[in-house]
Structure 1
Amino acid sequence: MAIKPQSNKIGQLRKDAISVLGAVVLAMAFMGPATSVFFNTQPAASGAGYALPFALLLAIVVAALVASAIGAFAQKIPTAGFAYTFNTHGFGKRGGFLSGWILVFAYAMVGPMLLAAIGELTAQFFQTQWNLAIPWWAITIIFAVIVWGIGVLGVSRSATTALIFLALEVGVMLALFGTILGKGGAQGISLAPFNPANASGGISGLGIGMLWGIMFFVGFESAGTLGEETQNARRSIPIALFTAVGIIGTFYVLSSWAATLGFGQSHMNAFVADGTPWMTLTQKFWGSGLIWLVSLTVLSSIFANLVSGINATVRVLFAMGREGILPRSLSQTTVHGNPVVAHSAYMLLALVLALLGGLLWTPLGAYGFFGSILGLGIVITYILINLALISFYWRKYREEFSIVRHGILPVLASLIMLLPIYGQLWPIPAYPNNLVPYLMLLWIACGVIYLVFIARRRPELLDAMGRAMSEEAAPVEEHTKVTAS
């Protein structure tokens, strides 16, 4: 593929590339339903205990409140920049920059986290099923190349791929949940898991459960990055957000209910100690002959998660590159509106981090480490979006300001999300996850230093922030578009 620059005012994404269904599918696939259930159920249960379904219900409430805030922004500012652009209009240039800075750090963890996991789990699958010993890192490289190729083909191809794998993972896992609940679990059907008093770790335990519960939902907000490529975006993006939260949220509550009942209240210590509780449940309720099916389902989920998650990350990089906050080359697109430079650069970075993290902490250790950064960064981003919404509507759309939707609900959501932050900070997690808060503070400090540099040396970048992604202003300077031949 040769890249030929053409004169163009600004790199542009392809308008109307996907329908509202495509936005829903990409958001749900980014959530990685089977991946989240497989990896996050056990650590969530380590805090919430038998009250895990209650923690998931709290997470649904938080996700719905955040969806309301993102949807309210998207109705006014269809954008690829998501929190970066939204918070620029809500907090001003400096607040928007720091929001985008945190979001980039959080989303940057998606690729390395999932590439490390899919390499290791695929290697285990080959070893178990066919006694083939293939290094995890070789498989990780192969998947990185495949995902890169799909992304280069465009967002519509990514949505189609995600839909196929999403249907497979949800179908298989729902069948397993149905079997467990249909057989009454280990001790009969009970609503006791929805009682917060059954949280083994008390308030802190619910905080940990809720943190991982929010990790279940990470990705639904990615519909907010598709504002420039979705048909009738002002209407479609809010629909996509609430649809993703509603459908997959119900899926998650069913999964946690099935898991807690499947082990039983008297065996929650065994649940928490089990590194692969869903394999244990599969063997118990389906028999060992179908363990391969659940393993393949998880791999399908990770792949769909990779495709959709990297699409969202790339669009944030594209938006910040388009305004010059990051290198402007990241805003280059093909004639079909695909951000090929941002996609290629990010895939290379993700692959390097996945391989390095896997070598330092094992592939699944890297998944946990990068995932913890993602979770903390996304929770902070959610809080900032909610607070920015209050300012945005009060200052710019006061006649539409609703004291409930634009005032009370954002504050309530922000307060609730302090709980998972507390759960991640205390008790202090084991190495290397104990480094996550310090890395986040270091990243924010670097952002502040960079912001001071921009304000003093390149103030025109601050003046232009937030304008390129909105329809209310023209781009400030010329950029480059690329064509593929």
Structure 2
Amino acid sequence: MEKVSESKRLKRNAAGFYPLLGQAIAMISPLGAVAATMTGAAGYALGSLPLAYVISIIGVLIWINTPYQFSKKINGAGGFYTFNSQGAGPRYGLIIGYMMWFSYFMVITNAILFTSGVFIPGTISYFLGINIGNYTWIPIMTAFLIIITIIAYLGIKPSLAYSFTASAIEIILLIITSIVIIVALGPKNTYVPFTTGPAHGFAGVGVGMVLAIFSMSGSSAVVTLGEEAKQPRKNIKKALLISFLITGVVFVLTSYALTVGWGINRMNKFAASSVPGLIVADKFLGLPFTILLFVFIINSLFAGSLAPLNTSSRMIFSMSRDGLGPSLFSRVHPKHKTPYIAIIIIAAVAYFISLIAGILIGPYDGFVYLVSASSAALFIGHILSNFGLTKTYMRLKAFKPTLHLIIPLIATIILLIAMYYSFNPPAYPVDYSIITAIVFIILTLIAVLIYAKKHPDKIKNAGKSDMLVQDELMEGKL
């Protein structure tokens, strides 16, 4: 049997269940999601925000069915690229691989820009009344990115250890904050936020649900750690499911606490505030705890930037190792066993894209532009993967209509609705982000088809290296 050279393998057995769980939760970035995505969802769902999150739990459970089912049979550093290449076909998988890579890459750009250019200046302005300047975010973002790059460079173990610790603290802080607020309100607690009344119908709840689903969707990025995981077929799908269950329950609890804490009938002003979560925390728990919360929100956004750097670097590494990406990206550090060239270059490019977006259209609009481009690619990539799952299980002769056809179809419908409400009507700068994502996807499609026509033998290598490593893992040789 063919083997993958030791010099082109990532660190074996580096991640057990708990580190994988930390990576899955870190990609969701619970405190960061509360600061950013939950605030956005409140702008539509208003006082019915908790209802939007309850419904979104069903949506996310359907959403993660596809990576969960794939992970039962196929694992590797390429994640969705390997899934679809080995299941639905090489061309199909390569196109999806670059689309999903683009989405995770853009998560890095929007996360570092939001943290340095929106959240930190907004918090300082509200609580201290100080404007830190128009360009102070640049050195903050520079330091921020250098640190996460170093951690990613040094190996997957320190990255995952950090992610797990940070994720555990985030969850605990959100639970404490929510319980204190709910207990303090006593008889003022009510079931009303779990109805459509405060949102004046289901339309607002529906849009809020879309954003809520997006805020919990990041756990699927853990599939790119298939080569470095212990018992990947068992632990990756387990981390996917449990991370979703934990964050889903916590998000419902937190959304309710913040809604009743802010005021059900005042939620129209919630989203307009720069840092509503911290304002509510300050009201009920005092300034010292709010400062602690602020620190860990920054930490959450930090972990939420590190996770996609690990994910995107492994995806491009996997494609390049198969000869379907720049060969430079297939290099593995001899000591740390990380795709270090990919990590450094991706981090550098992400930095300059964030810098250009922040300078040209401002940090907030830049963040919206980058996160919307990421969303568009993510939605389309997942839709195509839903169809890929059906074809894969038919090929494997293990097809089950409910798991491999009906649920993926429902997930596709949810994603199409999400795309409609997220990007219609198009408004600045979202319209430009859609154009960016579509242009990238079209260019990828053209490039893959041309390459496949000119090099039909090479395109067949898509996902091959991951599968060779997986086969050896299954045989107990690694």
Distance 2:438 2:129 in 1: 46
Change (3 A) 1:171 1:129: farther
The unaligned stretches of length 5 or more in structure 1 are: 1-6, 476-485
Which residue of the partner structure matches residue 482 of structure 1?
Answer: none
Q: Is the Cα contact below 8 Å between 2:123 and 2:274 reproduced in 1?
A: no
Distance 2:408 2:47 in 1: 29
SS in 2 for 1:107: helix
Distance 1:434 1:9 in 2: 45
Change (3 A) 1:472 1:114: closer
Q: Is the Cα contact below 8 Å between 1:68 and 1:238 reproduced in 2?
A: no
Q: Is the Cα contact below 8 Å between 1:78 and 1:470 reproduced in 2?
A: yes
Distance 1:289 1:22 in 2: 30
- Aligned partner (choices 21, 24, 28) of residue 21 of structure 2: 24
Aligned length: 464
Whether 1:447 and 2:448 are equivalent positions in the alignment is no
Q: How far apart are residue 36 of structure 1 and its match?
A: 0.2
Q: How far apart are residue 123 of structure 1 and its match?
A: 5.7
Q: CA RMSD in A?
A: 2.5
Q: With structure 1 as the length reference, what TM-score do the two structures score?
A: 0.89
Which residue of the partner structure matches residue 340 of structure 1?
Answer: 340
Which residue of the partner structure matches residue 176 of structure 2?
Answer: 175
Q: How far apart are residue 472 of structure 1 and its match?
A: 8.3
Q: How far apart are residue 301 of structure 1 and its match?
A: 0.7
Q: Which amino acid aligns with 2:43?
A: S
Change (3 A) 1:385 1:198: farther
Distance 2:470 2:293 in 1: 50
Distance 1:63 1:471 in 2: 31
Distance 1:112 1:409 in 2: 32
Q: How far apart are residue 133 of structure 1 and its match?
A: 5.2
Mapping of 1:414-433 within 5 angstroms? 414-429=412-427, 431-433=428-430
Whether 1:312 and 2:311 are equivalent positions in the alignment is yes
Task: List per-residue Cα deviations over 1:450-480 (Å, max 9, x = no partner).
Answer: 02320232323312112122138999xxxxx
SS in 2 for 1:387: helix
Q: Which amino acid aligns with 2:442?
A: A
Q: Which amino acid aligns with 1:357?
A: A
Distance 1:269 1:227 in 2: 43
Q: Which amino acid aligns with 2:408?
A: P
Which residue of the partner structure matches residue 250 of structure 2?
Answer: 251
Change (3 A) 1:292 1:227: same
Q: How far apart are residue 267 of structure 1 and its match?
A: 1.3
Q: Which amino acid aligns with 2:337?
A: G
Deviates more, 1:51-60 or 1:68-77: 51-60
Q: Which amino acid aligns with 1:424?
A: S
SS in 2 for 1:272: coil
Distance 1:116 1:200 in 2: 34
Mapping of 1:128-143 within 5 angstroms? 135-143=136-144
Change (3 A) 1:471 1:254: same
Q: Which amino acid aligns with 1:154?
A: G
Distance 2:459 2:158 in 1: 35
Q: How far apart are residue 132 of structure 1 and its match?
A: 10
Mapping of 1:124-203 within 5 angstroms? 135-184=136-185, 188-196=188-196, 198-200=198-200, 202-203=202-203
Distance 1:243 1:450 in 2: 38
Which residue of the partner structure matches residue 475 of structure 2?
Answer: none
Q: How far apart are residue 177 of structure 1 and its match?
A: 1.0
Q: Is the Cα contact below 8 Å between 1:211 and 1:375 reproduced in 2?
A: no
Deviates more, 1:453-462 or 1:225-234: 453-462
Q: How far apart are residue 302 of structure 1 and its match?
A: 0.8
Q: With structure 2 as the length reference, what TM-score do the two structures score?
A: 0.90
Change (3 A) 1:444 1:247: same
Q: Is the Cα contact below 8 Å between 2:72 and 2:237 reproduced in 1?
A: yes
Distance 2:286 2:17 in 1: 39
Whether 1:408 and 2:406 are equivalent positions in the alignment is yes
Change (3 A) 1:382 1:210: farther
Distance 2:464 2:201 in 1: 47
Which residue of the partner structure matches residue 461 of structure 1?
Answer: 458
Q: Is the Cα contact below 8 Å between 1:52 and 1:256 reproduced in 2?
A: yes
Q: How far apart are residue 437 of structure 1 and its match?
A: 2.0
Q: Is the Cα contact below 8 Å between 1:99 and 1:381 reproduced in 2?
A: yes
Whether 1:386 and 2:386 are equivalent positions in the alignment is yes
Q: How far apart are residue 278 of structure 1 and its match?
A: 1.1
Q: How far apart are residue 129 of structure 1 and its match?
A: 6.8
Q: How far apart are residue 292 of structure 1 and its match?
A: 2.1
Deviates more, 1:246-255 or 1:260-269: 260-269
Change (3 A) 1:375 1:206: farther
Q: How far apart are residue 130 of structure 1 and its match?
A: 12
